[in-house]
Amino acid sequence: MASDYLSRHDNEDYGEQIYSKAVRAGKRTYFFDVKATRGDDYFLTITESRKRVNADGSASFTRHQMHLYKEDFVKFVDGLNDAINYVKHSRPDYFNEQAAATIDEEFEQL
C-alpha cells in the first residue's frame, strides 16, 4: 500500500499530524503516524487496530497504541532490527511471500 502523506493539521488526539502510513495485515491494520509537538519535535505513534465480529454480526475494533519519542528512535530501531534479524535467521520461512500468504489465509479461516 502506498504511503499516505497528510499535510499538517490539528489532530484531536495528541500532537499535530505530519505523516501517516497504514499497513493492512489480515484482520489487523497498523498505523504509523508522525506527529509534532507545539515545539515542533517529532514523535511516532504506532497503533494496532484489530477488527472483531461480535455475536450479533456487528463489527467493532480494538486499538493498542504506543508513543515513540525522538530520543528513543535509534534504540528502538536497533532493538527491532535485532529481533527481526533473529527471526530471519531462526525462521527464514516467515519471510517467504508464499508462506506469509498461506499463514494469512489460515488465520482468516479461524
Q: Which of 9-13, 45-49, 54-58, 92-96 has the highest mean pLDDT?
A: 45-49
Cα Rg of the chain, angstroms: 17
pLDDT category at 94 given cuts 50, 70, 90 is confident
Task: Please state, in angstroms and rounded to a whole number, the distance separating the CA atoms of residues 3 and 90.
Answer: 30
pLDDT tens digits, 42-83: 999 999 999 888 899 898 999 999 999 999 999 999 999 999
Asked if the structure places residue 69 within a domain, the reply is yes
Mean pLDDT of the chain: 82
Q: What is the CATH number of the domain that holds 28?
A: 3.10.450.700
pLDDT tens digits, 15-24: 789 999 999 9
How many structural domains is the chain composed of?
A: 1
Identify the residue with better confidence: 25 or 110.
25
